[in-house]
Amino acid sequence: MTFSIVARSADGRSVGVAVASKYLAASAAVGAAEAGVGAVATQAWCNLAWRSLGPARLRAGLTAAEVVAELTAADPGAAERQLGVVGATGPAATFTGGNCLDWAGGVSGGVTRSGERGQAYAIQGNILVGPQVVEAMERAWLAGDPTAPLAPRLVATLAAGDAAGGDRRGRQSAGVLVASVDAREVNRAEFGSDLVPDVEVDLRVDDHPWPVRELARLLELHRLYTERTDPSTWLPLTAELAVEVDAHLHLLGHAPLPQGLTTWGGMENFEYRLHEGWIEPEILDQLRAAAARARG
């Protein structure tokens, strides 16, 4: 009833899982990810315990293949399940039980030695229109830019599977979860504590006629709200640009710079992309668009 990918970024700093299914809120049941540890996907007849047991066994030092072997051997219902696992290093692994509904299968690839970092992936699906779904997903993953952020690569891989026919029963839900060392470090610096989350992206589309497309839209909004950009691209709020920004803020009912921009930006959820005395070009575009809408 589901197709998914678990993967690790080429630099080894991010791990994640993306899933689509003709099943309500599939992402709530399928995936788990932990930065510096790995990610798992449990599907078909999900074993929800695998979402915690998988990372725990990876944390204990098992390889992805060893985790798959251990979890499936201990589960009398494994023949009706699928499992994908990727660790912080080494190859990924996938498992499809012999009683999963057709078409069912998977593929894994990436690095070949257990001590290596670098991108690795496991793709699996059941009740699919055919093997072309998994094949299309693998091609999309391998064609992606290995230096690009992990979340959009995962969603692009899902989109390839969806375009190839996906779940033969139809479409309903999709989701993407990425945990990263970078997110943990940013949160540690912001909150001054080691007890911080490592989640970089966690987005779900629980019930939608085109869930993968909607997931891609949400991911773009997530990027807009949270992206950290190069300060060399920011524009100084001086001279004519300051006059323009003040005019837009006035039209939108806000005070002049700097308070007005802070207020408007906060209301639009751009807190992470506001900088005293400067404005990012994309945020300026958002402000201009808001003012244009206000003018009708």
Nearest in space to 271 (alpha carbons), one of 258, 261, 284, 281? 261
Where in the chain do CATH 3.60.20.10 domains reside? Answer: 2-226
* Tens-place pLDDT, residues 245-295: 999 999 999 999 999 999 999 999 999 999 999 999 999 999 999 999 999
Integer CA distances (angstroms), 118 to 41, 76, 121, in order: 20, 34, 10
Question: What percentage of the chain has pLDDT greater than the value 90?
Answer: 90
* Tens-place pLDDT, residues 208-230: 999 999 999 999 999 999 998 99
Nearest in space to 263 (alpha carbons), one of 236, 282, 290? 290
Q: Which of 15-19, 47-51, 138-142, 196-200 has the lowest mean pLDDT?
A: 196-200
Q: What is the CA radius of gyration of the chain?
A: 22
Q: Taking the CB of residue 284, how many other CB atoms lie within 10 A of it? A: 17
DSSP character for 101?
A: P
Residue 188 confidence (pLDDT): 80
Strands 120-126 and 2-8: antiparallel
pTM, two decimal places? 0.92
Architecture of domain 2-226: 4-Layer Sandwich (3.60)
* Two tokens, residue 73: 């051997």
Which residues are CB-contacts of 270 (< 8 A; sequence separation ≥ 6)?
A: 225, 283, 286
112: pLDDT strictly greater than 70: no
* Tens-place pLDDT, residues 161-200: 999 999 999 999 999 999 999 888 877 877 777 776 899 9
